[in-house]
Amino acid sequence: MESTLLSVLLPALISFSIGIAITPIVTHFLYKHKVWKKQGGKVALGGKEAIEFNKLKGADETKTPRMGGIVIWGSVLLTILSTYLLSQLFPNSFLGELDYLSRSQTLIPLATLLAGAGVGFLNDFYDVAHKGKGLRLSIRLIFIAILSGLLGWWFYFKLGVTGINIPFDGTWEIGIFIIPFFIILTIALYASGVIDGIDGLSGGVFASIFAAYAGIAIVQSQFNLAVFCATVAGAIMAFLWFNVPPARFWMTETGSMALTLSLATVVFMTDSLGDGHGIALLFIVGLPLIATVASNVIQISYRKMTGRKLLRIAPLHHHFEAIGWPSAKVTMRYWIISIFCAVIGVVVATVA
């Protein structure tokens, strides 16, 4: 067990170190090319000005660079490639054990991470270059639906995934409907990316979630997948080092889309494929993300039914800001909840 933990922690430390090392380069690029919105503020879903949001965050959007997520996926990619090369160059030394690039456990979540990063990067680029008008939401959702549909097809037809494991209650068999279920899960997780709204908030939450799934994967003997999750967590911690208030940059879509899409894959891979309960555990480990999506859905539904807003502003973390909580307090409390949820999730995975 000690050697297993070391083999998981080492890549996390490497990705953290790489992230710290490349951040000055990324920062120089972002500030040199003024990678921030030239006009702050956003429009609500109904087409009107998002008054509450613009009061809270509108001015900051013209001061803080976007695309900070480059640090995250760049660190993950460099870590996995460098450890793979070292294992090939020195196969007879301890470095030979650093080959974590496996088709069965690493390639799929890595591919989704990079695919999300690429589309998110395009969105951020257009957001900066075209006065806050990134890729249309419909285009991003179509991309996510196609990608998750293909992955769902792969899980069903190639890997034989046909059901969802329920803790202490066997497996819920849904057959080919596993494909639309995966699409819905992926879109829901992508929607949770709006948690990237306060300095340090998304970094702390996502780091806790990926660290928890690293632990869950270890419990299920999916060691390469555990390494991937730990590597992502290490990269997020490097990003978070520079994203705490006042943030040097924001994660934005190139980071949040990369993380949410790869998380959807990890969640599925730690379920029946790993003889575990990865999907059910998301409701514990990912509670802050679920609360974020739920608050948006409730706000929209309540407004359509009554014509009034239930929350001052959605998602929930901005509501807390709007009623007077300092941003740092919101962030710290979300971190505390995330850590508790991560620990509980790993414990449940151990005993379920």
Q: What percent of the chain has pLDDT over 70?
A: 92
Average pLDDT of span 118-123 = 96
pLDDT at 55: 66
pLDDT at 187: 97
Count of residues for the chain?
A: 352
Residue 58 has pLDDT above 60, yes or no: no
Number of domains composing the chain? 1
pLDDT at 127: 87
pLDDT at 61: 64
Rounded to the nearest integer, the mean pLDDT of the chain is 91
Q: Which residues pair with 43 in a beta bridge?
A: 49
Residue 54 has pLDDT above 90, yes or no: no
pLDDT in tens, 241-297: 999 988 999 999 999 999 999 999 999 999 999 999 999 999 999 999 999 999 999
pLDDT at 109: 96
- Range name among 33-47, 197-211, 221-235, 263-277 with the lowest pLDDT average: 33-47
Q: CB–CB of 281/348 below 8 Å?
A: yes
Residue 193 has pLDDT above 90, yes or no: yes
Read off the pLDDT band of 37 (50, 70, 90). confident
- Range name among 59-73, 93-107, 264-278, 297-311 with the lowest pLDDT average: 93-107
Read off the pLDDT band of 341 (50, 70, 90). very high
Residue 238 has pLDDT above 90, yes or no: yes
Read off the pLDDT band of 22 (50, 70, 90). very high
pLDDT at 44: 54
If you count DSSP H runs as helices and E runs as strands, how many of each does the chain have, helices first? Answer: 13, 2
Residue 216 has pLDDT above 70, yes or no: yes
Residue 68 has pLDDT above 60, yes or no: yes
Residue 48 has pLDDT above 90, yes or no: no
pLDDT at 51: 58
Read off the pLDDT band of 60 (50, 70, 90). low
Select the more confidently predicted residue: 105 or 75: 75
pLDDT at 50: 58
- Helices 278-285 and 327-351 pack at an angle, to 10 degrees, of 150
**CA-closest candidate to residue 239, choices 10, 90, 30:** 30
Residue 2 has pLDDT above 70, yes or no: no
Name the phi and psi angles at 288, rounded to 5.
-60, -35
Domain range enclosing 207: 2-351
pLDDT in tens, 130-178: 776 788 999 999 999 999 999 999 999 999 999 999 998 889 999 999 9
CB contact burial 314-340 (16+ within 10 A = b; e otherwise): bbbbbbbbbeeeebeebbeebbebbbe
Degrees, nearest 5: CA angle 276-117-193: 65
How many Å apart are CA 237 and CA 19, to the nearest integer?
A: 8
Q: CB–CB of 163/176 below 8 Å?
A: no
Q: Which residues pair with 165 in a beta bridge?
A: 171
Read off the pLDDT band of 182 (50, 70, 90). very high
pLDDT at 102: 81
Q: Is the peptide bond before 65 cis (omega within 30 degrees of 0)?
A: no
